[in-house]
Structure 1
Amino acid sequence: MTDDRQLSFWAWGYEDKLPDDDERRELAARIEGMLGFPERPVMEYPTLDDIDIPDSRIDVPEELAEFVTTDRRARASHTYGKGYRDLVRGFHGDFSKAPDIVAMPRDESDVEAVIEWATADGVAVVPFGGGTSVVAGIECDGDGYAGVCSLDMREMDAVLEVDDHSRSAKIQAGATGPEIQDQLREYGLQLRHYPQSYEFSTFGGWVATRAGGHFATRYTHIDDFVESVRAVTPAGTLETRRLPASGAGPDPNRFLLGSEGAFGVITEGWTRVQPRPPHRARATMYFDDYWDAVEATRDIVQARLYPANCRLLDSNEAMLNELAFDGSHLLVLGFESTDHPVDDDLERAMALAEAHGGTCPEGPTIEDRSADNGESDTDRSDSSEGSWRDSFIEAPYMFNSLVSMGVLVDTFETAVTWEKFPDLHEALQENVVGAMEDECGAGFLSCRFTHVYEDGPAPYYTLLAPAEVGRELEQWNVIKQAASDTLMEYGATITHHHAVGRVHREHYHEEVPDGYLDALRSMKRTLDPDGIMNPGVLL
């Protein structure tokens, strides 16, 4: 079910969606005017002929030849994820860490065959879903190994079984968001999990990285949907029992959720699904004062209204997404139900926001799609919420352009208690913007809440700075370190939903107890005794 359009070998998304020179010049002028950056160059995109990619160190095994390749484009496309460091290296043609071979298994027996061969020959195996990691989760130089095999799961993309009575489905690991929705549509069901990478990321990738999704409250991570997981490891196949819940000891699913391929390859899993919600209500609240907006958000989530959407955009984020240019902070609210109207819940949330000075100039929008069974997958509209969602999904394409014009652009996310958030936020403003100004001469930082909990928010920061071409990674390292160190200092998590990978490994080890890391190492030795599975992530 793979899309016939060609994905870029270095950038986010499809090649035919890369902005052209005129569009990039327009964006450069907008960035220069909006953020006061110095004039930015508009550099040529790389071609496949431009890149530096080493010869493969290993030959394709005869027994795997039907689904394994050393094709140049395939190896380049599987070298990096889609973080800033990845885009910069790809843009400048550095593919020195390309995998030696790329395997695209058609079924679980192919996965087993790859792992058996790799174990015998000392080859590192890197599971690959949509390739959208921003924490170097799929980047492996293979030091100490005979070579590196990128194990691309996207041929295994089927919804294998649907239990509509229990509202759950068994899904193969390589199915992308749109592929899952397309296959569930005939049952009138869907998996309402919409990470920003939804178009390209896969079910197995979501499970392996504990991805955050559509719901801002209650069902915030893929964890909240998973019933059971099946994975192939060098020590054999693991499959957890499909259950709605269990109190029988530590949850075995937890060793695979967030494991990032360090123990084995997730091949399929059962997950909770639901009918498409025909009842929806939404509104965008405007605030003059940011901390009033923060308190309104806290009141709403602690009232246990459980909005599906409860995203607070500070004025910089609102401006960056071209939603407000007057300094307003926007709280985007949305409720949905498969069973009943949610007007009252929205009305109560708006009242709580209004008590903190919020206004709703556009007014609320109430929808009842019972007649068409809520057939629309997502809420597209001309409202601020609809405009923000469009901008949210398309934003990574803008990152491609910004990298090509010497703009340092990255994101980081976290979660922290409400009590600690003000001090953390102020420290990040000082330390991260300060690091950008020191390294790049200027800097811009915006914040939005992607998810909110009764005890604290999950703030997501976007940073932009004028980079010096040729020194981008050096500058990025300093700025990233300032952000990560600040998160640790103020008791926040190093990552709320971007996973650990290799980028966050140092600070992840600060966050969790040493004894827990020892337990993970023990699990690694048990399931992967030769250490071939995605070496370098987590541990």
Structure 2
Amino acid sequence: MTDVKHMKWWGWGLEGVGFHFEDKPDFAPFVQKAVALDISVPPVPPLSFDELTVEPPRITASFEAELVSIVGASHSTTDDMARVVHTYGKSIRDLLRVRRNEIARVPDVVVYPADEAEVQRIVDAVVTEGAVLIPFGGGSNIAGSLEPLADEKRTIVSLDLGRLRRVLDIDEGSGLARIQAGAQGPDLEEQLNARGWTLGHFPDSFTHSTLGGWVATRSSGMQSDKYGDIADIARGLRMVRPGTVVVLRPLPSTSTGPSVREMIIGSEGRLGVITEVTVQVHRQPAVREVQAYFFPNWKAGLAAMHEISESDASPSITRVSDARESGFSLATRKESKGVSSFVTKTLMSVLQRRGWVLEDMCLSFIGFEGSSSHVSYEKKLVSKIVRKHGGLGVGKGPGALYDQKKFDTPYLRDFLLDRGAAADVSETAAPWSKLQKVYDDTVAAANKAYDALGVHGWIMCHLSHSYHSGACLYFTFAFVHGDDPIAQYEVVKSSIQQAFIDAGGTLSHHHAVGVEHSPWMEQDISAGGVALMQGLFDAADPGQQFNPGKILGTPITPEEVADRVAHAPRAGTPAH
């Protein structure tokens, strides 16, 4: 069987790896305060796989034989576990459905091509068969970009690109690397680092997501302030379509009509299968460090990030958490002892003497990369701005901890689900002039939804990426759910999404559209924009065979969102 590795079918990450709180003394009281959950209650684990109801594959013997003839018997499977793994991504809605044995439709067969030629043969076979094809990378998507349509009657083929994971070539004179689309973050960084290069793209899902997936969902990473979003990084690509390959050369800039590259970036498999991307890479920096800062409040932190974005400094990371998320971060620390404990207590005492209200304090991480002299210069610029806004630098220690733990947060969702609580994220981007309103209105909308549900909910936020004209706000929300967790989740999620649009933000900055965010597309890009995009999809895929149903769905109105809140299912007995 194939050697492609996948995340566990019921949750995030690797089997046997999870979140633990026993060495974090402040975590239990924090969760009790945030969502009224006693985490000492024994967890209820997910179903065993044998308890799942998995429909048999809908595929003819002749079509299955044709796929086997293309990729080989070891790389084509109708195994139930493989099919379930390829059904959903890792949104909270996905995880709830799997845990509750609510799987409406699974792919019928999973194939693992070895190269672009095999991808072309699979695509052509699928089109001829009248089947449906859904490209699959690492399976980390949280916007519903992977799931088959529930009422799909045609055979569904999940095309897993996990065997296409090599860095093919590096043009060292131009800093351009050709990389196969199935390469996951650690795969490609290891290969690039061995030759002294880095892509510089580190999304939260880095350890379990792929280059092709990043391009298909218009991803951003933790260091996008310096290296750009994936739309900036991807300079050329290859995409397989029926009977042909779209080839876009990696040119620095072109004036060749509407950008086909831009059409493909963010297309979520609706136009074809991305097999290779040529990306801008950079020499590994001589110095890389993440400094931590405290601000007296959220307003001061936002103002500082805004000024940094307009300054001569160009940090790789500009992140500031609101007071709620700062409290969460401090609650997930391991117990400090000795000198470390003394320093922490002394610092808090100093801040209080300065008049800080510790409950309003905001934690910030700012990253610096480059030569020693360049990093020193930028740190001085940033320190001056931080001090101007009442902030205080606290050194590299917390930043090093952030660097070590930055990919671990998704494991916390499984921990909470085991205890009957749902946690998920929504993010947006807006101009600097509207950020505070977006933040205030979103928090208010989430709290109104919690009140309607009759639950003790939590919402927190950080600014994750800065641009000259605005920034990304990344919200995390959680609540103890009742017997109908998905309906309750939809009330909270839709309230947050509508608040984004109403306050001047976008429906998503980097998590894509899928089916989760598609109801807000018309409000985001206008009816004319939707019509233009629909025309593209209709022309490129008249048979709706390439990941149908994603990006453009049934539009929702603000009034319909308000009606959801008004008729929210009230919390009953908490359910696991």
Residue number in structure 2 paired with 1:450: 464
Moved more, 266-275 or 104-113: 104-113
Residue number in structure 2 paired with 1:58: 59
Change (3 A) 1:230 1:334: same
Residue number in structure 1 paired with 2:438: 424
CA-CA distance at 1:391 after TM superposition: 3.3
**What does 1:31-430 align with in structure 2 at a 5 Å threshold?**
32-35=31-34, 37-39=36-38, 42-59=43-60, 61-65=64-68, 66=72, 67-141=75-149, 143-234=151-242, 236-322=244-330, 326-327=358-359, 328-337=361-370, 340-360=373-393, 362-363=394-395, 365=396, 383-430=397-444
**1-structure distance, mates of 2:437, 2:127:** 49
Q: TM-score, structure 1 length as denominator?
A: 0.91
CA-CA distance at 1:340 after TM superposition: 4.8
CA-CA distance at 1:26 after TM superposition: 9.0
Structure 2: give runs of 5+ residues left out of the alignment.
334-347, 349-357, 553-576
CA-CA distance at 1:241 after TM superposition: 1.9
Change (3 A) 1:25 1:63: farther
CA-CA distance at 1:164 after TM superposition: 1.2
Asked whether the 8 Å contact 2:226–2:317 carries over to 1, the reply is: no
**2-structure distance, mates of 1:26, 1:97:** 43
Asked whether the 8 Å contact 1:210–1:497 carries over to 2, the reply is: yes
> Comparing both structures, which one devotes a greater share of its residues to helix?
2
**2-structure distance, mates of 1:398, 1:199:** 16
CA-CA distance at 1:271 after TM superposition: 0.5
Amino acid across the alignment from 1:419 = S
2:517 matches 1:504: yes
Secondary structure in structure 2 of the residue aligned to 1:513: helix
Change (3 A) 1:166 1:533: same
CA distances 1:277-307 after superposition (whole Å, capped 9, x unpaired):
1123442221122211111111111114121
**2-structure distance, mates of 1:123, 1:476:** 33
Change (3 A) 1:246 1:338: farther
**1-structure distance, mates of 2:379, 2:19:** 38
CA-CA distance at 1:523 after TM superposition: 2.3
CA distances 1:352-390 after superposition (whole Å, capped 9, x unpaired):
110110012x33x5xxxxxxxxxxxxxxxxx21222233
CA-CA distance at 1:455 after TM superposition: 1.6
Amino acid across the alignment from 1:120 = T
Structure 1: give runs of 5+ residues left out of the alignment.
366-382
CA-CA distance at 1:497 after TM superposition: 0.3
Amino acid across the alignment from 1:10 = W
**2-structure distance, mates of 1:216, 1:297:** 14
Change (3 A) 1:461 1:292: same
**What does 1:465-484 align with in structure 2 at a 5 Å threshold?**
465-468=479-482, 470-484=483-497
Asked whether the 8 Å contact 1:307–1:333 carries over to 2, the reply is: yes
Asked whether the 8 Å contact 1:91–1:404 carries over to 2, the reply is: no
Residue of 540, 546, 550 corresponding to 1:533: 546
CA distances 1:224-279 after superposition (whole Å, capped 9, x unpaired):
11110110112521111220112332222101101110110100011111111112
CA-CA distance at 1:130 after TM superposition: 0.6
Asked whether the 8 Å contact 1:105–1:152 carries over to 2, the reply is: yes
Change (3 A) 1:27 1:354: closer
Amino acid across the alignment from 2:277 = G
CA-CA distance at 1:5 after TM superposition: 6.7
Asked whether the 8 Å contact 2:297–2:323 carries over to 1, the reply is: no
Asked whether the 8 Å contact 1:440–1:465 carries over to 2, the reply is: no
CA-CA distance at 1:529 after TM superposition: 2.4
Residue number in structure 2 paired with 1:9: 9
Change (3 A) 1:514 1:223: same
- Give the aligned length: 518
**2-structure distance, mates of 1:102, 1:24:** 41
Secondary structure in structure 2 of the residue aligned to 1:520: helix
CA distances 1:158-201 after superposition (whole Å, capped 9, x unpaired):
11111111111100110001110121233211211000000010
**1-structure distance, mates of 2:26, 2:89:** 24
Change (3 A) 1:495 1:424: same
Q: TM-score, structure 2 length as denominator?
A: 0.85
**1-structure distance, mates of 2:292, 2:307:** 16
**2-structure distance, mates of 1:216, 1:316:** 24
Asked whether the 8 Å contact 1:123–1:145 carries over to 2, the reply is: no
Secondary structure in structure 2 of the residue aligned to 1:465: strand
CA-CA distance at 1:349 after TM superposition: 0.8
Amino acid across the alignment from 1:73 = M
Asked whether the 8 Å contact 1:207–1:222 carries over to 2, the reply is: yes
Asked whether the 8 Å contact 1:10–1:76 carries over to 2, the reply is: no
Asked whether the 8 Å contact 1:11–1:90 carries over to 2, the reply is: no
- Aligned-pair identity in percent equals 29
**2-structure distance, mates of 1:218, 1:452:** 10
Moved more, 385-394 or 294-303: 385-394
Asked whether the 8 Å contact 1:99–1:148 carries over to 2, the reply is: yes
**What RMSD over aligned residues (CA atoms) do the two structures have, in Å?**
2.4
**2-structure distance, mates of 1:434, 1:316:** 17
Residue number in structure 1 paired with 2:342: none
CA-CA distance at 1:533 after TM superposition: 0.2
**2-structure distance, mates of 1:217, 1:449:** 12
**2-structure distance, mates of 1:137, 1:338:** 40
Secondary structure in structure 1 of the residue aligned to 2:291: strand
Moved more, 71-80 or 425-434: 425-434
